[in-house]
Structure 1
Amino acid sequence: MGIRELRIHGVGGSPGAAMLGVAHEDAVVIQQGRRTQVIARAQDRRVEGYDWGRLTTDSPLQPLWVLLLPFTLVNVAGWAHDSFSGSRLRLRATRLGVHLSAGLLTVSYTLWAAILGVDYLGYQAIGRLGEGAKVLGVVLGFLVAATVPALLMIIANVTRRRYEQVESGHGVGTRDGQARWAPEEDLSSDQFFAHDRSLQKLLILHGSLTVLTFAAVAVVVSTRWGEPNLGLGRVFLMVGFLQVVVIAAVAITCWNPSGRFPGQSGPRALPAAAVTLAVALSNGVCAGFALLVAQLTGLPWDRWGQELALIESFVITVVLWAAGLAVWAVRRRGRANADELPPRTSPEGQEPDGVTEQLRAEVARQRSRAQAAHQAPQLVSIFAGLFLLSAVVSLVMRIDIGGPVLEWIQPPQRGVLSLVATVLLPGIALAAILVVWQSSINLTLRRIVATLWDVLTFWPRRYHPFAVRPFTERAVPEFQGLITDRVRRDGGLIVSAHSQGSVLATAALAPMRAAMLQRCALLTYGSPITTLYGQAFPAYFGQHQVQELGTQLVAGSGGWTNLYRLTDAIGGPIFGDGTSEVDVEVPDPAGTASSSFPLDPKDPEPLRPVWSDVAGHQDYQHEIAYKCAVRKYRQSGF
């Protein structure tokens, strides 16, 4: 049969047979998994594809993942730490800070459930009917509030059993899920995606925090009984103060991360910024819903609690960030050009020999967008800074030291900003759910949403058990098993990976031994390994890790080729500046006539027409550079 080409796709859901460049009826399913499958061309079994897209886009509950976004952000924050070559003390301090932030987030979510259920609905709204109704309302409020963390625990445990208990034999090592996380464990570890027992312990820990929080709420209820409100905002302010202190400590610890390629820019203190974003989203949306409930149930403003003290700051932050995003986008528009492209001189009806001025302008726009997109992780840090600044200003304006210490921070009064918050903050959550739902039927929107979700759910739940379950716990071991099987059967394999698939391929190849890697050729295209993952996660996709894998691949009979375009908003050079022999820039639009490269008769994917369009992140398989790489690896015979 010869050397196989095993493809793995990127984000955007399940591509099916399109991943192989053929129609549905021209592909055959050769292996079926849980929401995954392996397919091959019916007429050329040398080309196979691993389809994992349904792991992230085929869940009917995916729109509700938005409600788990804060937990997911905190979990991702734990992976964005400094390189392992840096200070071990800084590494331990960063991880400790993220774990503390994760615990405080669980406590704050539980407090918001108690504020809404026990105080607003039970004690105040139902309690207006009489003392007996107040007691009944508080009891019902506790039951309603307890359902929130209970559901989170159930969802986390169910998804753990379905997706994270990886069966042994899929990968390259023993996967019993029993080992604890090693201090400097990275993708080269056989156990990286097999720490099920650690997740179980984390679930127990956060379940205990929930119980302790409800116990504290019960104490406050007993001491504040008879007052206009239960004063749970005082407890919330203490938790919020601790959240800010921990964020500040994490920011100082990881301000300037190491491990990136020389000259590569990236966000500073990303773990702290991600935690800040999680805290802002969770508290802002919950505060908005609390204010909405207060107004719908007719609670007078003088009974609003201190938990709403920052309600205006959330609105101000959203407005400032939206304005800042617009300015950021405008400033980066037009920074690139396409002056080097030759003008078209051939008449209409003949093959173009250059670009029209309209196409030149489109190429320049796409290049500018790509440059801006590669710096997008910095937006998280910008949002974090704006939120912390507006929160400090709001608190300073609400300080009144004329009374007891616990009442220095005053609750808000009814005003324009509070009315806007009633609509804007709950609306953000509902709009996000609607966008994710619409992405199931809109291809362009699906790619945007899937890009965000697939990055966030790549990482195991090491820091917060309520995060959205990772798809990699199943996809990476399965892909490792496919690679191992094909290499042993055929003596060699071409791993062809697009976009997020290149990240999965890197994770699958990283723990393999040299003897196996030297029988593999890796062909990546549109890869965010360095442009995104290297910026945000230098300990796992930084300079040392990428170069080590590249060295082992190049040392064998195969090698590594990475294709990228200047118009690609996601992919880019693997080795930083693109000067490595691994990185090959692909012209966009195509500028070489297809007649100069005869295709294999079995190849169903035609070459791109010259000087006709801008491909950006798509259609790399139609490039001459792609065909040349596959042909070279097949002819080498490994």
Structure 2
Amino acid sequence: MEQAAELRVHGVSGTPIESMLDDPWPTQVAGDDDGRIFRRTHATPPDRVVEGYHWGRYTAGSPSRALWLLLLPFALVNVARFALLMPARRRRRDRLADGVLRLLGLLSTVTMVVAACYLAWGVLARQCGPDDDCGRGFWLLARFSDRSDGIRTLVTALLPIVLLAVLWQFDRLGFPHDPPGRPRRERPHSNGDPGDPGFWRGPLQTSSQRAAHVTVGCAVAGLLALAMLGLPGRWAGYEPAFTAACAVVAGLLGAGLLANLYVVIANPAPAVLTSDGHDTTALSRRMRVARYVTAAAALAAVVLSAHGLDHVLRGRVRPQGVGGLFAGVANGVSALLGLTLLVFLVVCAWLACCADGREMRAVPKPFRPFFGGMAGWIGAALGAVAGMGMSAAAVFWTARALGKPVLEGAGDGIEVASVYWVLAAVWGGLALLLAVSLLPMAAWLLRREWWWVLFLALVVAVGVGGTALVGDEVSWAGAGRQAEWITGGIVLVVGLSFLVFLLDRDSYPDQLCGDYSERHGLERARARVAAKWRLALIRYRYHHVLGLIALLGGLAVIAAALAGVWLIFVEDGSSPLTASATGPLGQLGVAVVSFGATGLVVLGLGTWRRAGLRTGVGIVWDLLSFWPRTGHPLCPPPYGGKAVLAVAGRASQLANQPLVGDGPAGRIVLSGHSQGSVITAAACAVLAEEATRSGHDGDLRSDRARTALGRLSMITYGSQLQFLYARFFPSYFGYDRLCGVYRGLGGRWRSVYRWTDPLGGPVLAWAAPSSAASFGPDIDRWHRIGCPDDCPGHTSKQRCGCPGGCAPDECPYPKYWAVGPDLRLRDPATIEDSAFEARRAARGHSGYPGDPAYEKVFEDLLQGHEVDPGACGVPGQATSAGSASQDRISGRISMAPK
């Protein structure tokens, strides 16, 4: 028998290579310190080589990656770019959508810079003077307060300087994670194709975009430093030389701001590729000059501001209106962000409703894009809510540490701009909404039949309690006087919750009789497995909750932006909007965002001390930093490009070089778990693409790619390719793309899942319209990839060690249930004591290669076995599917996505 090579790719959390290969002493045979390829050294069949590609160090290796938590809003904006409904060929409307999203990303960066400057100069330098009581209990802050205005301005300038320096140094984080090999340009006039190696290297404009973001941040920080001197109209009364210097610096900062704003929106292509290895492309001389001139002007602005406060204005009244100026800038940036988000909403609706968008949504229901194709706006809204929430959290956390936060102009405390109060009220409202709807939402997620009763009781309780509160006074005192009505509503909802959760009407216990024995004494064991099914199947509904939060948060950001602009023109602080923002909802929001800021600080510090916590934080970046930096250039460095091309290159090496025994591997199996399945699917797309092209050197040369593709098979397990990636990123991993990968492999793709897996599910099969359920164990009729559109719904059949078909009770373990290439494993393997089978705990999302049935799946894949479901109601037989039959069943699927 020809030798086979298996290359395993792990999922999130950086699975240890020893666990991945089930070998305590694996040997590294290729790769580098970050992307490592190990080989199993013992307990391997003589005709097989087992290797593992470990990419976990890209996102969870160094404690410094805890700083990436600050970049979460940027990462969400970048992910939103790949959720847009864009066809393969680029259109004018696609360029418009990218431009609006880039502007939204720039405003997210500016929001963070403005918050840092507001903290530094609007709070610490301006409100912690000798005559103020800010933080007098802390000796270091007391010494700081006794210094002059200029010294305080210089000292607090360290905060925006450090932030901008961190963003500036992000240029250096791109190189270690860039894909190997010489730079390749992305295919022209394309929106991106996972099969194109140039796509995974990232846009050539990433370097110029990063430089533009940092330059705009420097310009904004410099202008805010000059704002410490008061409005520009007051400069004429200062010394002529000083006024001229301020005007020149302000002009340079304004020119740098406008020039780089154009770079962000227009996104001009660079002329040359880099040759120094530090970046995607070399910056033009004009951009480098603008970058350093703007940075120098920003530093000069800080020095001028400090000099003016201590010397030019010595003996004069402190500049008036500085607080209002800082508040106006914060309100203005918030308004621009909200309006841009509103424009992006319109653009996303345009992309979804045009002819190409409707065609991309005309796919089987389990593959249809989330939220009617509006997932891109949902992701951007989450990024905006997170970014503005983090800014408000930093401001209120500092204000609470120094004293009592009050509205700008109110005095008698630490003054905070109105926009931050409005944002706090937004977060307070979201927190209150989640708190009051937690039990009804949990009942709906767990598919309780009477979940709607809880929602009805919640509406009644909120209506009665709200009416009573409005009739009295919307305040903490009013809530205390109406406590009996509020308590009665809570008791009503909680009491009904016990009844709703006790009512169990699903058919899971009956479905389990097909997996386990029906004999008495196992009812409680089957009930425990059914409970795991219910928890795992939340994955098919949680996106509704996430979408609702993002929708409410995004609309609230837009409303908050407009409200902030309106408040600028309100002279007194007694407007209803201000009262609401600083009332109980705003106070709740202050507590929420302050708690969130404290949690981020604790989490960041904890990652430096605890490797386990650092790995947990790395999981977030495993999910968010997979994509190239197209939507936002300052998101964490992407690992997807290097991982995808490394896996594709290794498959080519195994197929073309004498690495196994005396020659290359005759069969190669890519084995991807969870996020690893996304990497292996993309690697297959790259090999299929490179097999048809020429002119490239290395492992992905066309002849080598064709050889590898002809010998390639794939097993994915615990995969999110259908229910998450195909729906959130339909332009890149949608139904047509998965069909193309399946056909490119000649049908040699098996997808393995468990119903107890909370993250992975079916990929190549889905419920037929005639099925009794749309997802989960209740499905009784299936459709599958590789079938013509008019093929009938199939039933799930068993495959086991029998030479032919066998009855369920006679099929020995290990076994799996199959609908064509989609295979389900039993979990736990057994629930009863046996002299011949070990009783194992449920494994859920982990341990797929360690399941005895996995070896059966692997052998069947290499031998061409596949359960042929046949027509509805016809007993299935375990048959061998040759290449002719595979070509027949997949003949109507095109490799190229629509």
- Larger mean Cα displacement after TM superposition, 313-322 or 293-302: 293-302
Identity %: 24
- Larger mean Cα displacement after TM superposition, 311-320 or 425-434: 425-434
Tell me, what secondary structure is at the counterpart of 1:188? coil
- Larger mean Cα displacement after TM superposition, 69-78 or 211-220: 211-220
CA distance in 1, matches of 2:331, 2:343: 18
Q: How far is 1:284 from its partner?
A: 1.8
User: Are residue 176 (structure 1) and residue 183 (structure 2) matched?
Assistant: yes
Q: Aligned residue for 1:504?
A: 679
Alignment: residue pair count: 611
Q: Aligned residue for 2:29?
A: 30
CA distance in 2, matches of 1:212, 1:38: 45
1:54-453 matched pairs, under 5 angstroms: 54-84=57-87, 88-126=91-129, 128=131, 133-154=148-169, 156-164=170-178, 166-168=179-181, 175-176=182-183, 182-195=189-202, 197-218=204-225, 220-224=227-231, 225-227=319-321, 229-255=323-349, 256=352, 259=360, 261-264=363-366, 266-268=370-372, 269-298=374-403, 301=406, 302=410, 303-310=415-422, 311-324=424-437, 326-334=439-447, 336=506, 337-342=508-513, 356-390=522-556, 403=570, 416-432=584-600, 434=602, 437=606, 451-453=619-621
Q: How far is 1:486 from its partner?
A: 0.7
CA distance in 2, matches of 1:181, 1:114: 41
CA distance in 2, matches of 1:113, 1:28: 48
CA distance in 1, matches of 2:72, 2:371: 20
User: Are residue 519 (structure 1) and residue 739 (structure 2) matched?
Assistant: no
1:495 to 667, 670, 680: 670
CA distance in 1, matches of 2:219, 2:151: 22
Q: How far is 1:324 from its partner?
A: 4.1
Q: How far is 1:221 from its partner?
A: 3.4
CA distance in 2, matches of 1:430, 1:597: 50
Q: How far is 1:424 from its partner?
A: 2.3
Tell me, what secondary structure is at the counterpart of 2:112? helix
**Is the 8 Å Cα contact of residues 526 and 564 (structure 1) preserved in structure 2?**
yes
CA distance in 1, matches of 2:572, 2:219: 24
Q: Aligned residue for 2:746?
A: 554
**Is the 8 Å Cα contact of residues 124 and 229 (structure 1) preserved in structure 2?**
no
Tell me, what secondary structure is at the counterpart of 2:648? helix
- Larger mean Cα displacement after TM superposition, 220-229 or 525-534: 220-229
User: Are residue 545 (structure 1) and residue 737 (structure 2) matched?
Assistant: yes
Greater relative contact order (CA < 8 Å, ≥ 6 in sequence): 1
CA distance in 2, matches of 1:547, 1:491: 25
CA distance in 2, matches of 1:532, 1:314: 27
1:616 to 836, 844, 856: 844
Q: Aligned residue for 1:570?
A: 759
Unaligned regions of 5+ residues in structure 1, if any? 169-174, 347-351, 599-605
User: Are residue 579 (structure 1) and residue 579 (structure 2) matched?
Assistant: no
CA distance in 2, matches of 1:111, 1:396: 18
Tell me, what secondary structure is at the counterpart of 2:525? helix
> Structure 1 residues 567 and 136 mapped into 2: Cα distance closer, same or farther (>3 Å)?
same
**Is the 8 Å Cα contact of residues 333 and 368 (structure 1) preserved in structure 2?**
yes
> Structure 1 residues 188 and 324 mapped into 2: Cα distance closer, same or farther (>3 Å)?
farther
Q: How far is 1:219 from its partner?
A: 5.1
One-letter code of the match for 2:729?
A: F
CA distance in 2, matches of 1:209, 1:394: 24
Q: How far is 1:226 from its partner?
A: 2.5
1:630 to 830, 835, 858: 858
- Larger mean Cα displacement after TM superposition, 523-532 or 43-52: 43-52
Tell me, what secondary structure is at the counterpart of 1:17? helix
> Structure 1 residues 228 and 108 mapped into 2: Cα distance closer, same or farther (>3 Å)?
closer
**Is the 8 Å Cα contact of residues 287 and 308 (structure 1) preserved in structure 2?**
yes
**Is the 8 Å Cα contact of residues 64 and 608 (structure 2) preserved in structure 1?**
no
Q: Aligned residue for 2:258?
A: none
One-letter code of the match for 1:502?
A: S
CA distance in 1, matches of 2:523, 2:211: 63
**Is the 8 Å Cα contact of residues 14 and 52 (structure 1) preserved in structure 2?**
no
CA distance in 2, matches of 1:567, 1:586: 19
**Is the 8 Å Cα contact of residues 70 and 278 (structure 1) preserved in structure 2?**
yes
| CA displacement 1:233-280 (0-9 Å, x = unmatched) | 212222212212221222233244663642135234222222222222
**Is the 8 Å Cα contact of residues 321 and 386 (structure 1) preserved in structure 2?**
no
Q: Calculate the aligned-residue CA RMSD, in Å.
A: 3.9
Q: Aligned residue for 1:349?
A: none
Tell me, what secondary structure is at the counterpart of 1:546? helix
One-letter code of the match for 1:148?
A: L
> Structure 1 residues 200 and 581 mapped into 2: Cα distance closer, same or farther (>3 Å)?
closer
Tell me, what secondary structure is at the counterpart of 2:670? strand
1:465-504 matched pairs, under 5 angstroms: 465-488=633-656, 489-504=664-679
> Structure 1 residues 633 and 402 mapped into 2: Cα distance closer, same or farther (>3 Å)?
closer
> Structure 1 residues 276 and 285 mapped into 2: Cα distance closer, same or farther (>3 Å)?
same
Q: How far is 1:345 from its partner?
A: 10
CA distance in 1, matches of 2:116, 2:562: 27
> Structure 1 residues 93 and 607 mapped into 2: Cα distance closer, same or farther (>3 Å)?
closer
Tell me, what secondary structure is at the counterpart of 2:784? coil
**Is the 8 Å Cα contact of residues 128 and 134 (structure 1) preserved in structure 2?**
no
CA distance in 2, matches of 1:373, 1:531: 8
| CA displacement 1:5-57 (0-9 Å, x = unmatched) | 111111222321211233x13x3332341223222221326111112222222
> Structure 1 residues 401 and 117 mapped into 2: Cα distance closer, same or farther (>3 Å)?
closer
Q: How far is 1:80 from its partner?
A: 0.8
**Is the 8 Å Cα contact of residues 12 and 446 (structure 1) preserved in structure 2?**
no
**Is the 8 Å Cα contact of residues 418 and 567 (structure 2) preserved in structure 1?**
no
Q: How far is 1:536 from its partner?
A: 0.8
CA distance in 2, matches of 1:355, 1:85: 57
Q: How far is 1:442 from its partner?
A: 9.2
Tell me, what secondary structure is at the counterpart of 2:19? helix
CA distance in 1, matches of 2:39, 2:206: 36
Q: How far is 1:287 from its partner?
A: 1.5
When Rg is computed on C-alpha atoms for both structures, the one with the higher figure is 2
| CA displacement 1:529-552 (0-9 Å, x = unmatched) | 111111111110101111111111
**Is the 8 Å Cα contact of residues 20 and 49 (structure 1) preserved in structure 2?**
yes
| CA displacement 1:583-623 (0-9 Å, x = unmatched) | 99799xx988895669xxxxxxx997434553322232244
**Is the 8 Å Cα contact of residues 163 and 471 (structure 1) preserved in structure 2?**
yes
Q: How far is 1:69 from its partner?
A: 0.6
Q: Aligned residue for 1:171?
A: none
CA distance in 2, matches of 1:331, 1:345: 28
